């Protein structure tokens, strides 16, 4: 079809895979990139519409590898200082019926889109399949991780719920929408090792929370502390739950080794774990603002080790966790996580861009080229404002500013730009 070509000229065009030109240009044909790079190399194709964005950095859509869109109705809430108390409060505020869950997810999808999100790893709380339906209806690709809970004798129920849901999804038509169901064993204190082993055998993406808090470390080591108290209060404790005398990563080693997990947080990691996580091809879903919100890692502990993880060859991608933890009520965006790390740690912008795009896409089983400027289908293009009169590198300026991004090429309609479930 002719007449759909657009030449976008911008102050900088950049992706995480080495395409970088300032000034730069991207030639698109509908939802496909034809070429990107220096304006002279692309020229002025006849018949193409031209869009001039001299004060914008043009970059690919972003990947939020760990979020909880179904908690979006709660909005940002300050942390009271007690993790178990927080879990309790969220449980009580969680949307109860299908309509309320759907509405919360829709709000989360709108906020994620406003944040420039092209792909999500979304945790579907309480084992609900409502979120995957809403993601599908909105055309937001990625993985909906069905969250399950099951400790002690309750592990069988959790395994059954996962197995049945995966079977149901795999029977569906329309699997070319770039959206998959994944397994989401919640955390090592709320799911037993059998649930993890079963999740790892399902042949779908798997995500969990791991080594998030000192309370979790205490629980796995000694089967005591505030999280043991929580399980008892919830009436799910039984005598088959015991102390493992181990760190949660070592405790789950069998399952983590069996399939590449997405492990959220990893606030408390020992030296020896770095090599293991690299060997196991675990992706660390680092949610910097959420970690800071909860005060992790705690004083006296080493700061979050994401840079050492990267040096050790561990894949680290960015997530936001839920809107509850965020300081941006108008959007859910890993660009704000990049900004947070750039300001706090001075982390290299290109490293951050990789964490916010291709690293997450690989973890979600999507084609990472969807979130680069490589020729072919695109999961959308974003423009982020900078000041062309400021001599500082435009991408660094974007990381110093707080402006929202805007979509300049919308994500392709379902089925057109996304990879299928087997890639
Ligand atoms: Zn989470």
pLDDT digits (tens, 9 = 90+) for 188-215: 999 999 999 999 999 999 999 999 999 9
Which phi and psi (to 5°) does residue 134 adopt? -70, -40
User: Ligand 1 centroid vs 319 CA: distance in angstroms?
Assistant: 9
pTM reported for the whole predicted model? 0.95
CA R_g for the chain: 21
Cα of 154 vs centre of ligand 1, distance in Å, is 22
pLDDT greater than 90 at residue 172: no
Q: Average pLDDT, stretch 167-196?
A: 87
Can you state the angle between helices 130-138 and 98-114, rounded to 10 degrees? 40
Residue 274 to residue 127: CA distance in whole angstroms: 31
Architecture of domain 5-59+375-409: Roll (2.30)
pLDDT of residue 168: 86
Distance from Cα 136 to the centre of ligand 1, integer Å: 21
Grade residue 171 by pLDDT with cuts at 50, 70 and 90.
low
Q: Which of 47-51, 316-320, 415-419 has the lowest mean pLDDT?
A: 415-419
> Residues of the chain with pLDDT > 70: what percent?
95
Ligand 1: centre distance to CA 240 (Å):
27
376, two tokens: 């072919």
Q: 296 C-alpha vs ligand 1 centroid, how far in Å?
A: 14
**Which pLDDT score, from 0 to 100, does residue 4 have?**
83
Task: Return the number of other C-beta atoms located less than 10 Å from residue 366's C-beta.
Answer: 26
Ligand 1 centre and the CA of 409: distance in Å?
30
pLDDT, the chain, mean: 93
Position 46 scores a pLDDT of 87
Ligand 1: centre distance to CA 272 (Å) = 24
Per-residue model confidence (pLDDT) at position 170:
76
Nearest to 339 by CA among 303, 292, 302, 296: 292
Ligand 1 mean position, distance from CA 171 (Å): 28
Distance 401 CA to ligand 1 centre (A): 26
Place of tokens 């099951």: 150
C-alpha 280 – ligand 1 centre gap (Å): 21
Question: Cα(265)–Cα(207) distance, rounded to whole angstroms?
Answer: 11
List CB contacts of 416: < 8 A, sequence separation 6 or more: 31, 377
Please state the rounded mean pLDDT for residues 239-267.
Answer: 97
CATH class of 62-369: alpha beta
The predicted model gives 293-311 an average pLDDT of 96
CA distances from 125 to 186, 299, 322 (A): 9, 31, 11
Between the CA of 53 and the centroid of ligand 1 the distance, in Å, is 36
Task: Return the domain boundaries, the chain.
Answer: 5-59+375-409, 62-369
- Cα–Cα distances in angstroms (integers) from residue 11 to residues 23, 51, 339, in the given order: 5, 12, 20
DSSP3 helix / strand / coil % (the chain, rounded to 5): 40, 25, 40
**Ligand 1 centroid to 52 CA: how many Å?**
39
- Euclidean distance between CA atoms 136 and 174, whole angstroms: 10
Check pLDDT > 90 for residue 309.
yes
Is 286 exposed, middle or buried (CB count within 10 Å of its CB: 0-12, 13-18, 19+)?
A: buried
Strands 117-124 and 141-148: parallel
Q: Is the pLDDT of residue 96 over 60?
A: yes
pLDDT at 417 over 60: no
């Amino acid at each position: 079809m002719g007449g759909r070509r657009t030449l976008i000229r911008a102050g900088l065009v950049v992706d995480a895979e080495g395409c970088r030109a300032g000034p730069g240009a991207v030639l698109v044909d509908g939802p496909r990139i034809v070429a990107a790079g220096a304006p002279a190399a692309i020229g002025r194709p006849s018949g193409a519409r031209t869009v001039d964005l001299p004060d914008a950095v043009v970059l690919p859509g972003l990947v939020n590898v760990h979020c909880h869109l179904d908690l979006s109705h709660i909005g940002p809430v300050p942390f009271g200082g007690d993790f178990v108390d927080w879990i309790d409060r969220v449980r009580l505020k969680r949307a109860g019926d299908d309509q309320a869950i759907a509405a919360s997810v829709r709000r989360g999808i709108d906020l994620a889109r406003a944040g420039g999100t092209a792909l999500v790893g979304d945790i579907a709380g309480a084992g609900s399949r409502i979120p995957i339906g809403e993601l599908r209806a909105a055309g937001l690709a990625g993985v909906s991780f069905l969250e399950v809970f099951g400790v002690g004798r309750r592990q069988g129920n959790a395994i059954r719920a996962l197995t049945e849901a995966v079977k149901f999804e795999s029977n569906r038509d329309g699997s070319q929408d770039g959206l998959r169901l994944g397994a989401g064993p919640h955390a090592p204190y709320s799911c037993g090792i059998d649930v993890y082993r079963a999740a790892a055998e399902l042949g779908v993406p798997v995500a969990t929370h791991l080594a998030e808090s000192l309370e979790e470390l205490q629980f796995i080591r000694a089967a005591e502390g505030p999280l043991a108290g929580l399980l008892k209060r919830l009436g799910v404790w039984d005598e088959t739950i015991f102390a493992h005398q181990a760190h949660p990563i070592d405790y789950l080693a069998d399952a983590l080794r069996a399939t590449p997990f997405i492990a959220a947080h990893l606030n408390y990691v020992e030296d020896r774990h770095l090599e293991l996580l690299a060997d196991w091809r675990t992706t660390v879903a680092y949610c910097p603002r959420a970690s800071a919100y909860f005060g992790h890692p705690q004083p006296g502990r080493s700061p979050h080790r994401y840079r050492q993880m990267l040096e050790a060859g561990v894949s680290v991608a960015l997530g936001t966790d839920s809107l509850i933890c965020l300081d941006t009520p108008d959007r859910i965006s890993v660009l704000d996580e990049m900004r947070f790390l750039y300001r706090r740690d001075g982390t290299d912008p290109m490293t951050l861009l990789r964490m916010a795009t291709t690293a997450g896409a690989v973890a979600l089983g999507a084609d990472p080229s969807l979130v680069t400027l490589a020729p072919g289908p695109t999961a959308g293009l974003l423009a982020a404002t900078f000041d062309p009169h400021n001599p500082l590198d435009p991408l660094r300026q974007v990381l110093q500013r707080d402006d929202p991004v805007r979509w300049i090429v919308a994500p392709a309609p379902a089925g057109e730009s996304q990879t299928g479930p087997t890639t």
